[in-house]
A and B are shown apart, each in its own frame.
Chain A
Amino acid sequence: MTKTLDKTALNKFLSALAKDFFIMAPQYAGEDVRVAEITNISDIDWTGQMPKNPWKQVFLPAAERLFNFNKNNITESRKQYPQIACVGMNVLDLKALTLFDQVFSDDVYYQQRRNNLLIIGFTADWPIDYKKYKVFSHNYEEDILEHLSFDIFVAKLKNNQLKIYSGSPRGQQLLEKYGIKDYKNIEFAGAVPEKGPDKRMLTLIDKVSKSYNKKLWSDLDKLCLACGKCSIACPTCFCFDFSDQLDPEESNRRRHWGNCFYNDFSKVAGGAKELDTVKKKIFFWYTHKFVRIPKEYALPGCVSCGRCTRACPVGIDIAKNIRELNK
């Protein structure tokens, strides 16, 4: 028998959590669903629409102060990190988070922040694009959930009942604490499925690597404005810069998001730039997603959320470009 929960019980649980956590969740902001801080649990959007912005600012702030230089030593800028519950992250965004967890596994700032996050995933149905890509089968317990980082996962069934999963001891404890007993525990089986990395992803590595002379890139060279909006919208773009702030009292080092479309990204002392054309920049971006990330982590660098396509002011469609590269 499937153990289920109704929406009222879920909202009761989330309201209880809100006493200890800031709640970040998708909500309507004007015409779009966006990830934002929630003050009223009933504002959470449960339609399963892809939020326009990614979640990454919660895990890796657009700018953060890392440490301060005092006279003779270095002190950490931050002693405490906020308790945040990320509520309603869809499967694609959880895939991006799972990748971030690998990329920043030995990064003390990421880890400190991440340890105070509670991840509550949600699926209403598979996104339309997702089915079209046919990357995954529909058995989300074995093929999907086992390979995602989350604490609690909520699946909406056809009868509008909710099926609850726990994905960590912490998730279990919280469910128990607030009297939700009908859940199923999923044991994390590593980010990469047992049957090996996705085959489509593997064939793309070679295709993208060898594609620089394809017409696609010279077309994109003319079309792309190198505005960098795709990179900001992308849930897997994690490039960063360090910069210092000079202060006679307490200089400090900061980290902020980098953007490979911006001119200073590759500029070395003396002014030489490696990425000095739009073609080189956009090829670099695709190489990161479809060559470097798959090679390093055996995970896709693109979770097919479509945010970059939505963000692009000149209508560059990543799905179309990938079809072209796959030819």
Chain B
Amino acid sequence: MKSMINIYQPQPAKIIFVNRESMDTKLFRFKFADKKIQSAFDFLPGQFMQIGLPGWGECPISICSSPHFSRKYFELAIRDAGVLTHKLNSLQKGDKVFVRGSYGNGFDVDLFKDKPLMLIGGGCGFVPLRPLIIDYLAGRLSTAMLQIFYGCRDENTLLFRDEYALWNRQAEFNIVLEKPSKKWGGEKGVITDLFPKRTITSNSVAILVGPPIMYRFVIKELKKKNIKDENIFLSLERKIHCGLGVCQHCAVGPYYVCQDGPVFRWSEIKNIPNVI
């Protein structure tokens, strides 16, 4: 038994960089303490890590860095939303966490090749879209058009602001704020307000990450643009304990968000009761 791998054993990782992204969210860059693990580490955009602190438990957080740099580091943007994430937000460069993963199916990027791509993110749900943007800008993802739609409450909750200039250069980048300050010169409203104003082609692949309410309204708009259910991908958020499809917390119908998801084709899950 001594040689059987313990699938629940986390690995120590060190914070090598921290950046405050918004009022309640920080971006952390991690490196595994074990060099061998780091240099063999790989993941897909859309996958998540289980991150924890001794005595504080574990939680799932989507990876927001590009797989291109997976052998060097990985990044998580962590919002202060609960007891553990509050504690994690107090950590500094040099501090240690325990992680396991990566878990989940991630985005199958081959499906996006050379099709117009719409990335639609709401609030902190935007996080897992960042690896796709980074890879697109580096020419690793698709040669077709990229449209980014980002809906947020206000200026204080926007993430990755340092990168917008770059995104704007090669992609159509749209931000809409629900309750902006008076200084805000951009769009005001909810994310679905943007769709009638933009040119959206019906052969687009749409990737949605955000709260369930956003999914319900956005899917309705996408259907108006004749986008097929099988070209709509969404990432589901559920409670996760094991990350390996056993503990049942994240089950939706016949699937597990931690294994079969978090990314699902809308056509695969639309008949599951209460899925969004």
User: Who on chain B is nearest to A277 by CB?
Assistant: B274
User: Who on chain A is nearest to B245 by CB?
Assistant: A296
The answer to whether B1 and A74 touch across the interface, beta carbons within 8 angstroms, is no
**Which of A18-26, A105-113, A313-321 participates in binding chain B?**
A105-113
The answer to whether B254 and A295 touch across the interface, beta carbons within 8 angstroms, is yes
The answer to whether B4 and A240 touch across the interface, beta carbons within 8 angstroms, is no
Q: Report A282-306 CB contacts with B as 1/0, cut-off 8 Å.
A: 0110011001100110000000000
Q: Report A249-287 CB contacts with B as 1/0, cut-off 8 Å.
A: 001110000101000011111100010000010011001
Min distance, Cβ B2 to any Cβ of chain A, angstroms: 10
The answer to the question of B71 belonging to the interface, with a C-beta cut-off of 8 Å to chain A, is no
The answer to the question of B59 belonging to the interface, with a C-beta cut-off of 8 Å to chain A, is yes
Given A112-B1, A239-B249 in contact, is the A274-B238 Cβ separation under 8 Å?
Answer: yes
Min distance, Cβ A101 to any Cβ of chain B, angstroms: 13
The answer to the question of B239 belonging to the interface, with a C-beta cut-off of 8 Å to chain A, is yes
Give Cα A108 to B251, complex, Å.
23
Chain A residues, Cβ within 8 Å of B82? 269-270
The answer to whether B10 and A74 touch across the interface, beta carbons within 8 angstroms, is yes
Give Cα A245 to B242, complex, Å.
17
Min distance, Cβ A297 to any Cβ of chain B, angstroms: 12
The answer to whether A242 and B242 touch across the interface, beta carbons within 8 angstroms, is yes
Give Cα A278 to B245, complex, Å.
23
Given A240-B242, A274-B274 in contact, is the A115-B1 Cβ separation under 8 Å?
Answer: yes
Give Cα A94 to B77, complex, Å.
46
The answer to the question of A1 belonging to the interface, with a C-beta cut-off of 8 Å to chain B, is no
Give Cα A165 to B206, complex, Å.
59
Chain A residues, Cβ within 8 Å of B23? none
The answer to the question of A192 belonging to the interface, with a C-beta cut-off of 8 Å to chain B, is no
The answer to the question of B273 belonging to the interface, with a C-beta cut-off of 8 Å to chain A, is yes
User: Who on chain B is nearest to A210 by CB?
Assistant: B271
User: Who on chain B is nearest to A239 by CB?
Assistant: B248
The answer to whether A287 and B7 touch across the interface, beta carbons within 8 angstroms, is no
Q: Report B232-251 CB contacts with A as 1/0, cut-off 8 Å.
A: 00000111011001111101
Q: Report A92-111 CB contacts with B as 1/0, cut-off 8 Å.
A: 00000000000110111101
Give Cα A223 to B190, complex, Å.
40
Given A108-B4, A268-B238 in contact, is the A292-B254 Cβ separation under 8 Å?
Answer: yes
Min distance, Cβ B270 to any Cβ of chain A, angstroms: 13
The answer to the question of A247 belonging to the interface, with a C-beta cut-off of 8 Å to chain B, is yes
Q: Which of B54, B58, B247 contacts A239 (CB 8 A)?
A: B247
The answer to whether A244 and B237 touch across the interface, beta carbons within 8 angstroms, is no
Min distance, Cβ B15 to any Cβ of chain A, angstroms: 15
Min distance, Cβ B261 to any Cβ of chain A, angstroms: 13
Give Cα A86 to B57, complex, Å.
34
Chain A CB within 10 Å — which of B6, B7, B12 has the most? B6
Q: Report A212-226 CB contacts with B as 1/0, cut-off 8 Å.
A: 110000000000000
Q: Which of A73, A240, A280 contacts B241 (CB 8 A)?
A: A240
Chain A residues, Cβ within 8 Å of B55? 69, 244-247, 251-252
The answer to the question of B164 belonging to the interface, with a C-beta cut-off of 8 Å to chain A, is no
Chain B residues, Cβ within 8 Å of A265? 239, 249
Give Cα A67 to B52, complex, Å.
14
Chain B residues, Cβ within 8 Å of A36? none
Given A108-B7, A115-B1, A291-B254 in contact, is the A269-B54 Cβ separation under 8 Å?
Answer: no
Chain A CB within 10 Å — which of B55, B82, B98, B245 has the most? B55
Given A67-B9, A242-B58, A274-B238 in contact, is the A288-B81 Cβ separation under 8 Å?
Answer: no
Min distance, Cβ B58 to any Cβ of chain A, angstroms: 6
Chain B residues, Cβ within 8 Å of A295? 254
The answer to whether A270 and B81 touch across the interface, beta carbons within 8 angstroms, is yes
The answer to whether A212 and B273 touch across the interface, beta carbons within 8 angstroms, is yes
Give Cα A243 to B237, complex, Å.
20
The answer to whether B1 and A284 touch across the interface, beta carbons within 8 angstroms, is no
Chain B residues 205-264 with CB under 8 Å of chain A are 237-239, 241-242, 245-249, 251-254
User: Who on chain B is nearest to A81 by CB?
Assistant: B1
Chain A residues 189-216 with CB under 8 Å of chain B are 209, 212-213
Chain A residues, Cβ within 8 Å of B57? 242-244, 253
The answer to whether A260 and B238 touch across the interface, beta carbons within 8 angstroms, is no
Give Cα A252 to B54, complex, Å.
7
Chain A residues 50-94 with CB under 8 Å of chain B are 66-67, 69, 72-74, 76
Chain B residues 179-226 with CB under 8 Å of chain A are none
The answer to whether B85 and A69 touch across the interface, beta carbons within 8 angstroms, is no
The answer to the question of B165 belonging to the interface, with a C-beta cut-off of 8 Å to chain A, is no
Chain B residues, Cβ within 8 Å of A253? 8, 57
Chain A residues, Cβ within 8 Å of B69? none
The answer to the question of B5 belonging to the interface, with a C-beta cut-off of 8 Å to chain A, is yes
Min distance, Cβ B59 to any Cβ of chain A, angstroms: 7
Q: A-B pairs with the 10 shortest C-beta distances?
A: A246-B55, A251-B55, A69-B54, A269-B82, A269-B81, A212-B273, A251-B54, A239-B248, A244-B57, A108-B6
Starting from the known contacts A108-B4, A295-B254, 16 additional A-B residue pairs (CB-CB under 8 Å) come to A69-B54, A69-B55, A69-B98, A74-B9, A74-B98, A103-B246, A107-B7, A240-B247, A244-B54, A244-B58, A265-B239, A265-B249, A268-B239, A274-B239, A274-B252, A287-B254
Question: What are 21 A-B pairs with beta-carbon distances under 8 A?
Answer: A69-B55, A73-B12, A103-B246, A106-B4, A106-B5, A107-B8, A107-B246, A108-B6, A240-B247, A242-B8, A244-B57, A251-B54, A265-B249, A267-B239, A268-B237, A269-B85, A270-B82, A274-B238, A274-B239, A274-B274, A287-B251
